[in-house]
Amino acid sequence: MCESYSRSLLRVSVAQICQALGWDSVQLSACHLLTDVLQRYLQQLGRGCHRYSELYGRTDPILDDVGEAFQLMGVSLHELEDYIHNIEPVTFPHQIPSFPVSKNNVLQFPQPGSKDAEERKEYIPDYMPPIVSSQEGLRSFVCFLLVCTHLTRFPN
């Protein structure tokens, strides 16, 4: 689903680029082809940025990595800058939600400001889950045993 959603956004972007260049219409097959070219181009650019950031010992790419990736692909930054200054900016016609959609945290890490986070000892790193008290752990173990014995006595 994510791929089809991002591809449909690319298709709208391609249509807007064509319209900004002065095209009145575009055939559907040509639009699909240009969308595919743009998708592969962006993937190649992303891979290049990722490789340069890893080459320089970073986990997140910076603007210099993008410049290096463009040079690797044979794009002149001066020509790209001229193009940006000569073309009229086009805004996207729809409101785009944040992508990918963020999910609720299912890990047992305490939220900042919560009781568990406040009571955490200084020597315990933030990325460690909270320690379960022995009373609570014993109670869940007993419940687990009761459920297991109930299931073995009364099979379906």
DSSP for the chain reads -HHHHHHHHHHHHHHHHHHHTT-S---HHHHHHHHHHHHHHHHHHHHHHHHHHHHTT-SS--HHHHHHHHHHTT--HHHHHHHHHHSPP---SSPPPPSSPP----S-PPPTTSHHHHH--TTS-TTSPPPPPHHHHHHHHHHHHHHHHHHHHS--
Query: What is the reported pTM?
Result: 0.59
In a domain, 51, yes or no: yes
Question: Has residue 39 been placed in a domain?
Answer: yes
Q: Is there a single domain that holds both residue 23 and residue 80?
A: yes
- 21-80 pLDDT, tens digit per residue, is 888 888 999 999 999 999 999 999 999 999 999 999 999 999 999 999 999 999 999 999
pLDDT, tens digit, for every residue of 116-151? 777 777 777 777 766 665 555 566 666 666 666 655
Are 13 and 59 in a shared domain?
yes
Whether 98 is covered by a domain: the verdict is no
Are 54 and 125 part of one and the same domain?
no
Structural domain for 124, as ranges: 115-153
